[in-house]
């Protein structure tokens, strides 16, 4: 089954650098998409994208070429361009990679971030401290991915941010698919409360270890999951 991916983005203004603007618009759409919510393949149609973004097909093609080189999409001759999906084994490998990168990010954040930045984590990620069960999963889920990106920014390492962002394309959706059916928010929230406490104390060793432990548990959960994204 093939589903044409609908792009929810405003037309782009006509100005130099349309390739870069198209790239940013397409990457933003793909990275925010829960690709594993769709059992079929997700195709990007150049004509539809050109019409939707209000530019010619040339900058669209150039943007898609960049995205293909970065591993976000795959071009298939005479079939089109498809968003890349991973199998279970590949996703588990990505969990290990992301946990390793996030572990380095929290270490760097302990070194680079200001007291104000670390002290504001509780307020910024208040979902981890909520006691209400209303919309518990949704509030945690959003906070978890914002936390990962936020810590990467506090690490002040652009390369690290880029790699984590790429991995989250797949892990965010896989996390949603698994935990909406087998969710234990209390463990997940406690894990991040402990990580934030370690960051507030600039305890890089503890923060790093906690991130790795959480990543290893997520990998185990995926391994045991018998869902359709085999």
Rounded (5°) CA angle 63-68-74: 120
Residue 14 confidence (pLDDT) above 50: no
Residue 42 per-residue DSSP state? E
What is the per-residue pLDDT across 53-80, written as a single tens digit (0 to 9) for each? 888 989 999 999 998 888 888 988 888 8
Q: What is the DSSP letter of 113?
A: S
Q: How far apart are CA 70 and CA 49, in angstroms?
A: 19
- pLDDT at 100 exceeding the cut of 80: yes
| Range name among 85-89, 120-124, 162-166, 185-189 with the lowest pLDDT average | 185-189
* pLDDT higher than 90, residue 45: no
User: 40 and 83 in contact (C-beta within 8 Å)?
Assistant: no
Instruction: Pick the most confident of 10-14, 56-60, 160-164, 198-202.
Output: 198-202
Of 37-41, 55-59, 189-193, which range is least confident? 37-41
> Is the model more confident about 61 or about 6?
61
62 or 134, higher pLDDT: 62
Q: What is the pLDDT of residues 110-132, one digit of tens each?
A: 999 999 999 999 999 988 887 66
* β pairing state of 41-44 and 80-83: antiparallel
Average pLDDT of 25-31? Answer: 82
Token pair of 133, please?
A: 């069960």
Residue 163 is encoded by which pair of tokens? 């790699």
Sign of the dihedral through C-alpha 157, 158, 160, 164: positive
Residue 36 pLDDT class (50, 70, 90 cuts): confident
Q: What is the DSSP string of 47-103?
A: HHHHHHHTS-HHHHHHHHHHHHHTTSEEEETTTEEEE----HHHHHHHHHHHHHHHH
- Mean of all residue pLDDT scores within the chain: 84
Are the C-beta atoms of 75 and 44 separated by less than 8 Å? Answer: no
Quote the tokens at residue 159: 């390369």
Count of other CB atoms within 10 angstroms of residue 173: 20
In 3-state terms, what secondary structure has residue 10?
coil
């Amino acid at each position: 089954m093939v589903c044409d991916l609908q792009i929810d983005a405003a037309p782009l203004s006509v100005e130099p650098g349309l390739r870069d603007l198209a790239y940013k618009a397409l990457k933003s759409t793909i990275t925010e998409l829960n690709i594993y919510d769709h059992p079929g393949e997700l195709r990007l149609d150049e004509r539809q994208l050109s019409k939707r973004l209000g530019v010619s097909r040339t900058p669209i093609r150039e943007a898609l070429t960049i995205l293909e080189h970065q591993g976000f999409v795959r071009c298939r001759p005479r079939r089109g361009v498809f968003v890349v999906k991973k199998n279970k084994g590949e996703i588990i490998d990505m969990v290990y990679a992301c946990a390793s990168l996030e572990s380095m990010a929290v270490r760097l954040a302990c070194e680079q971030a200001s007291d104000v930045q670390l002290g504001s984590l509780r307020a910024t990620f208040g979902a981890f401290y909520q006691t209400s069960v209303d919309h518990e999963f949704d509030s945690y889920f959003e906070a978890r991915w914002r936390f990962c990106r936020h810590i990467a920014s506090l690490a002040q390492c652009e390369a690290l941010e880029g790699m984590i962002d790429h991995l989250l394309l797949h892990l965010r959706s896989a996390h949603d698919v698994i935990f909406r059916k087998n969710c234990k928010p209390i463990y997940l929230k406690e894990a991040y409360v402990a990580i934030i406490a370690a960051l507030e104390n600039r305890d890089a060793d503890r923060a790093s270890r906690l991130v790795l432990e959480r990543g290893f548990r997520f990998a185990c959960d995926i391994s045991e999951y018998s869902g359709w994204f085999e």
